Amino acid sequence: MAIKLEKGQRINLEKGSGAKLTNFCVGCNWGAITKKAFFGMTTTTVDVDLDLSCLLFNEKGEVVDHIWSPLYNLGKIGLPQGKLDSNDRALHHTGDDLTGDQDGDDGLDNEIITVDLARVSSNVNSIVFFLNIYNNNDYQGDFSGIPYASIRMYEGTPTKVKEVFAQYDVATKTDCVGKRALVMGKLYRRNGEWKFAAIGDAFEDRSIALTIARVAKDYNK
């Protein structure tokens, strides 16, 4: 049975069988927003663009790698270009979903970062995952207005969910009301083993650059 993550919770990456969870997906799922129009006789669809990203830190708390959408042009403010693969190829992002599910929940996540802990570089001590609502003209609301927005860790592939290990339901969290950025959680090494801490801190950041700076400064240890 999947663990329902709560803010501040720490868990061992261990399945019910006792085997270690080393190869898994971190995925974000959400739907587009359907609105009634013309006195309720027709409906319109509002695209919602959420972005799943991560920063990788060494033992000193220095950023050594990153993953975020290549569609972000952050070079003008001194941040590196977005990319879909970590340098060691242990993490891979499936790409930017700009709309959300258009016809209801299809059971699959819209953006996914696959993780192979066995391939993570030895100089990486922690990996922090975070989520942003892209600031565009389609949707100006917060997490609470996005259908079934959630983040989960599961075994499987981007196109097939085998077993959900843990899940954090963003849309239902009162802490996420009025917020557009979420520091979801952190994978970290401890005594030679990987563990996971659910952070669950939400912010009003209207730019991913603000969230990147926040994570680099406050969640690096």
Q: What is the pLDDT of residues 97-110, one digit of tens each?
A: 999 999 889 999 99
**Pair 117, 90: CB distance under 8 Å:** yes
Tell me what pLDDT residue 73 has.
84
Q: What is the pLDDT of residue 16?
A: 76
pLDDT digits (tens, 9 = 90+) for 120-167: 999 999 999 999 999 776 788 999 999 999 999 999 999 999 999 999
Residue 189 CA to residue 20 CA, distance in Å, equals 14
Are the C-beta atoms of residues 165 and 153 closer than 8 Å to each other? yes
- pLDDT at position 137 is 64
Residue 212: pLDDT over 90:
yes
Report the pLDDT value the prediction gives residue 37, as an integer from 0 to 100: 64
What does residue 37 show for φ and ψ, rounded to 5 degrees? -140, 165
Q: Are 139 and 33 in contact (CB under 8 A)?
A: yes
**187: its two tokens:** 């994978």
Six-digit token string for 22: 């080393």
Q: Name the residue with tokens 């359907």.
A: 34
Three-state SS string across the chain, please? CCEECCCCCEEECECCCCCECCEEEEEEECECEEEEECCCCEEEEECCCEEEEEEEECCCCCEEEEEECCCCCCHHHCCCCCECECCCCCEEECCCCCCCECCCCCCCCCEEEEEEHHHCCCCCCEEEEEEEECCCCCCCCCHHHCCCCEEEEEEEECCEEEEEEEEECCCCCHHHCCCCEEEEEEEEEECCEEEEEEEEEEECCCCHHHHHHHHHHHCCC
Tens of pLDDT, residue by residue over 21-58, are: 999 999 999 999 987 666 566 678 889 999 999 999 99
Cα R_g (the chain), whole angstroms? 17
Structure confidence at residue 139 (pLDDT): 83
Do 22 and 35 touch, CB atoms closer than 8 A?
no
Residue 1: which pLDDT band, with cuts at 50, 70 and 90?
Answer: low
Domain extents in the chain? 3-34+44-218
* Residue scoring higher pLDDT (197 or 137): 197
pLDDT averaged over the chain?
Answer: 92
Q: Considering only the top CATH level, what class is 3-34+44-218?
A: mainly beta
* Predicted local confidence at residue 75, as pLDDT: 86
